[in-house]
């Protein structure tokens, strides 16, 4: 439920409503726009007390939110959320392009890739130090050594870093080097992890689970938001379907739909979304055309030798070409790159 305050409500009236709501055991979340203040009321069945709140001084109206996701709902915050990462605003006017290898494999390879993607125009680096692998017998990441390499690349290139966090116990160490904590598809419904990253104030990149509905995905975002961390970037990375020629089916419906339903920024990962290098650029362009706020692209200088996801990794040269194509689309759409 949201309580919309009158545009001339005084700060004291807003405070009084918040106190009244909280005295009934509900939590409040504020959204202070230029024209109006909205108080989100979170808890079990707040609508039962609707009449009471409607009469409070300064209240314009009280609106139940019928969808189960509340704080991520556009009804709560009509304007797009902008998440600041380094010097960029994700969800603002410009696109946000994140690139790098699937995993941090060695200092030399990571630094080389980092410089190349920066020179091609990427805004952030990606690279997993802790990898969520389907098989326990495949490369699991360099772990703390990987974090050290990420920190070095961040310093050398000046680019912010996106890195995955697998468990609550890793948040502190990953958070020391990462500007954005990635929650991978396999952990999208790890509710303990979501709540814990929600207690940090580090931006979170929340990938869609491979079998998750859009509503489940937004409810996962809700776990982060409800702990007070509003800096959530959604990432469509493909879902499982009957198709076997591609690794996943990139659900581009999700992009405009999420933009309708939610104020959170949404980016597209065509690397995991297709699993095939040749499909990455076309689907990246389609994602931007569909309204994505950015892209996450896997890039490796020697994809054939990559320790994970080589088949879907672009070479730095492919990435440079993709950036050119994205620039053209961005211009056509009137978006900045």
Judge contact between 217 and 206, C-beta under 8 A: yes
- Give the residue with the Cβ less far from ligand PEP, 263 or 272: 272
- Give the residue with the Cβ less far from ligand PEP, 2 or 163: 163
283 is a contact residue toward ligand PEP (CB under 6 A) = no
Strand ranges of the sheet holding 59-63, from the earlier edge strand across to the other edge: 27-32, 37-42, 2-5, 59-63
CA distances from 293 to 97, 194, 203, 222, 287 (A): 9, 22, 15, 20, 9
102 is a contact residue toward Mn ion (CB under 5 A) = yes
Near Mn ion by CB under 5 A, which window of 26-34, 46-54, 96-104, 171-179?
96-104
CB of 217: closest distance to ligand PEP in angstroms? 12
Which of 237, 247, 263, 300 touches ligand PEP (CB under 6 A)? 237
CB of 99: closest distance to ligand PEP in angstroms? 12
Site string for ligand PEP, 153-192 (x = CB under 6 A): -------------------------------xxx------
The closest alpha carbon to 114, from 270, 307, 299, belongs to 299
237 interface partner picked from ligand PEP, Mn ion, none, CB below 5 to 8 A per type: ligand PEP
Distance (Å, whole) CA 290 – CA 82: 19
102 is a contact residue toward ligand PEP (CB under 6 A) = yes
Neighbours of 123 (CB within 10 A): 22
SS (H, E, C) 119-133: HHCCCEEECECCCCC
CB of 127: closest distance to ligand PEP in angstroms? 9
Neighbours of 253 (CB within 10 A): 11
- Give the residue with the Cβ less far from ligand PEP, 45 or 137: 137
100 is a contact residue toward ligand PEP (CB under 6 A) = no
H or E element in which residue 97 lies: strand 96-100
185 interface partner picked from ligand PEP, Mn ion, none, CB below 5 to 8 A per type: ligand PEP
Distance (Å, whole) CA 241 – CA 273: 11
| Interacting residues of 176 by C-beta distance below 8 A, sequence separation 6+ | 147, 151
Residues that bind Mn ion (CB under 5 A): 102, 309
Residues that bind ligand PEP (CB under 6 A): 102, 128, 132, 184-186, 207, 237, 272
């Amino acid at each position: 439920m949201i309580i919309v305050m009158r545009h001339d409500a005084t700060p004291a009236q807003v405070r009084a409503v918040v106190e009244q709501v909280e005295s009934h055991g509900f939590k409040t979340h504020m959204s202070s726009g230029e024209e109006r203040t909205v108080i989100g009321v979170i808890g079990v069945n707040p609508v039962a007390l609707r009449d009471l709140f409607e009469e409070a001084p300064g209240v314009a109206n009280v609106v139940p939110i019928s969808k189960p996701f509340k704080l991520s709902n556009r009804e709560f915050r009509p304007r797009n959320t902008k998440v600041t990462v380094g010097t960029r605003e994700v969800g603002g006017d410009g696109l946000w392009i994140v690139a790098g290898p699937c995993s941090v494999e060695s200092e030399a390879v990571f630094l080389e890739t980092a410089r190349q993607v920066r020179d091609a125009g990427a805004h952030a680096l990606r690279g997993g130090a802790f990898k969520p692998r389907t098989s326990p017998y495949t490369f699991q990441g360099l772990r703390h050594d990987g974090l050290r390499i990420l920190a070095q690349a961040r310093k050398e290139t000046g680019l912010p870093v996106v890195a995955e966090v697998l468990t609550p116990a890793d948040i502190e160490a990953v958070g020391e080097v990462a500007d954005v904590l990635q929650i991978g598809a396999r952990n999208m419904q790890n509710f303990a992890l979501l709540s814990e990253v929600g207690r940090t104030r580090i931006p979170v990149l929340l990938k869609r689970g491979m079998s998750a509905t859009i509503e489940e995905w937004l409810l996962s975002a809700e776990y982060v938001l409800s702990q007070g961390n509003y800096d959530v970037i959604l990432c469509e990375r493909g879902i499982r379907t009957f198709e076997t020629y591609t690794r996943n089916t990139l659900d581009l419906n999700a992009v405009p739909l999420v933009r309708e339903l939610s104020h959170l920024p949404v980016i597209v990962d065509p690397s995991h979304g297709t699993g095939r290098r040749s499909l990455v650029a076309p689907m990246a362009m389609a994602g931007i055309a569909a309204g994505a706020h950015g892209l996450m692209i896997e890039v490796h200088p020697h994809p054939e030798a990559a320790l994970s996801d080589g088949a879907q990794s672009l070479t730095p040269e492919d990435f440079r070409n993709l950036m050119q194509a994205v620039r053209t689309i961005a211009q056509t759409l009137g978006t900045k790159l």
